[in-house]
Amino acid sequence: MNKLFESLTVMLGKDPKRPTKEDFTEQAIALHKVQRGDKDRIAHIHAEIAHKKANKIPEKWRRRRWAVLIAANLLFVLSYKLDIQVLEGALTASRFVGFHMADLNSALQVMLAYKQVLINLLIGTVTVLIFWWLLGGRTFCSWVCPYHLLAEWAEILHVKLAEKKLVTDHPFDRRGRTVFWIVFAILAIVTGYTVFETISPTGILSRALIYGPGIAMVWVATLLLFEIFYSRRAWCRYACPIGLTYGLVGATSPLKVTYDLNTCFHEAECQKVCEVPHVLDLVVKGRATDVYLNVGADCTHCGRCVDACPTGSLNLEFKGLGELL
């Protein structure tokens, strides 16, 4: 329970705490002692990284994720264009073969704005809540959200520009996302209007793909340019209330990225590619409080750390089923 509480506070914006001696298990203490005495560790790290660079491994989870994300959004488009009524509506609210579904954050905004719970909205919300609890909450962000895909492409460009010393990343306080969540909730209650939906790049892009682009796409383009030239993944990391909502839903999900201290050389390759690197604070040398740990609730389960880890210390696992291929 303490680990869950700590995971939630980190997701809300608190910095990961430095563990005290009492936090560590005996097995973790013994393993950390062995690793500290490993004089060949640096050589192992350099060898692993050199091997990875010489034998570039395809990012299998990224490929799978992009395929699923594109397919899910394309199904909305085809259902509308071909009038086949398989997946109607948009990501904010939809019907799958006639069954109502509702984006959790959008449904919350509607309930707060209109001060009532419609039966169809309730059915759709509960269905989606159960689905995303099983799949790990923020899995929505990296596997379905269309803005996430564009932001990921913008991040690739940002990293290339940063390598050439043309741009510098400017991080913000992660607590800002919690503040935005509260502000938009209050605005919905006070105004009786779903204010966030007017600026949500997720909703704007989903509707633009299905019904055609509008003036709101200027806002999306502005966000992407800001992320390319000023702050890497700024919207997803520091602002988006949707990610916070889904993170809360998936905090106790059976789907987790798991960490094995036994095999870790602490190269930090995983943190370099992580969208939310604070969740991987446990891979820093001396930080893991147990030999086997789950990555925190803010993880998007994108799988990039799994692909990046040269020693296989990180894996996507579903409780009871083991590692996912």
Give per-residue pLDDT as tens, 33-82.
888 777 777 777 777 777 777 777 778 999 999 999 999 999 999 999 98
> Which of these three, 227, 248, 269, is where a domain ends?
248
Shared domain for 51 and 94, answered yes or no, is no
Shared domain for 35 and 182, answered yes or no, is no
What would the pLDDT profile of 102-129 be if each residue is shown by its tens digit?
889 998 998 899 887 777 778 878 888 9
Shared domain for 71 and 211, answered yes or no, is yes
> Which of these three, 248, 265, 286, is where a domain ends?
248
Written as one letter, the residue type at 304 is R
Shared domain for 97 and 171, answered yes or no, is yes
Owning domain of residue 305: 2-58+256-323
* Structural domain count, the chain: 2
| Long-range CB contacts (within 8 A, 24+) of 221-230 | 223/147, 223/151, 224/150, 224/151, 224/154, 227/151, 227/154, 227/155, 227/158, 228/154, 228/157, 228/158, 228/161, 228/167, 229/158, 229/161, 229/167, 230/167, 230/170
Shared domain for 53 and 77, answered yes or no, is no
Shared domain for 302 and 183, answered yes or no, is no
Shared domain for 144 and 230, answered yes or no, is yes
Shared domain for 97 and 147, answered yes or no, is yes
Q: Is 317 helix (H, G, I), strand (E, B) or coil?
A: strand
Phi and psi angles of residue 179, each rounded to the nearest 5 degrees, phi first: -60, -45
What would the pLDDT profile of 216-246 be if each residue is shown by its tens digit?
999 999 999 999 999 999 999 999 999 999 9
> Which of these three, 248, 266, 290, is where a domain ends?
248
